[in-house]
């Protein structure tokens, strides 16, 4: 396969077997891949419009997998499947189902008990799921769409603006985003909460 991807800071490299899951053989560059993935992601966002989801639906493994599959199924054969390799980020591949179950149970608890304000629930979920790194690729974008679904569909509030820019290219906005995620890694969510609404 001729796919040669250059990775930016914060991106997870794909192994050769994962690259073989590319469903569009004509893609040869990162730019082309980004374009096809973005089209697929926009279809997933369209699918959420006008729909209503309950917490008991959103906070399930099946829903988490389905959102990823809707985001990438036209591009990657492994869309919606947990990764089978360890990466430069995330927990051990064998721990994914258990760690995700803990997160989903925590999120249901946060929701039922009003543990945090809605923005913080959505962003804590986003941060934890990206830290688990369930999938071979697309975890950051998946976690942001999940946060948007949580805030809009469960709490009936506007989706996050995420710095009002594409976070995929090298930019000051991407740098600010990564800085806010690293602060959340240390338990400090205020930067991520401010960034998500900027």
For residue range 8-18, list pLDDT tens digits in order: 555 667 888 88
Q: Is 17 helix (H, G, I), strand (E, B) or coil?
A: helix
Q: What is the pLDDT of residue 165?
A: 67
Q: What is the pLDDT of residue 174?
A: 84
For residue range 97-135, list pLDDT tens digits in order: 999 999 999 999 999 999 999 999 999 999 999 999 999
**Local structure of residue 158 (DSSP, 8 states):** P
Q: What is the pLDDT of residue 130?
A: 95
**In whole angstroms, what is the distance from residue 165 CA to residue 116 CA?**
27
Q: pTM above 0.75?
A: yes
Domains of the chain, start order: 16-154 (1.10.3290.10)
Mean pLDDT by 10 residues, the chain (198 residues): 54 80 89 92 95 96 98 97 94 98 98 98 98 96 97 97 73 88 95 95
Give the residue carrying structure tokens 């997933």.
44
Distances (CA, A) of 171 to 10, 19, 113, 185: 13, 26, 38, 21
Q: What is the pLDDT of residue 19?
A: 87
């Amino acid at each position: 396969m001729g796919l040669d991807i250059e990775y930016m800071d914060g991106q997870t490299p794909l192994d050769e077997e994962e690259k073989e899951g590319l469903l569009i053989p004509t893609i040869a560059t990162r730019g082309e891949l980004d374009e096809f993935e973005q089209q697929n992601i926009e279809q997933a966002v369209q699918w959420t419009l006008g729909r209503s989801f309950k917490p008991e639906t959103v906070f399930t493994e099946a829903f988490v997998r389905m959102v990823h599959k809707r985001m990438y199924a036209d591009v990657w054969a492994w869309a919606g499947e947990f990764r089978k390799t360890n990466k430069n980020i995330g927990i051990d591949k064998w721990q994914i189902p258990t760690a995700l179950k803990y997160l989903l149970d925590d999120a249901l608890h946060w929701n039922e008990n009003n543990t945090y304000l809605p923005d913080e629930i959505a962003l804590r979920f986003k941060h934890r799921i990206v830290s688990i790194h369930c999938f071979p690729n697309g975890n950051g974008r998946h976690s942001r769409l999940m946060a948007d679904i949580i805030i809009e569909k469960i709490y009936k509030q506007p989706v996050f603006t995420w710095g009002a820019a594409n976070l995929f290219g090298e930019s000051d906005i991407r740098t600010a985003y990564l800085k806010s995620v690293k602060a959340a890694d240390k338990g400090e969510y205020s930067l991520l909460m401010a960034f998500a609404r900027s």
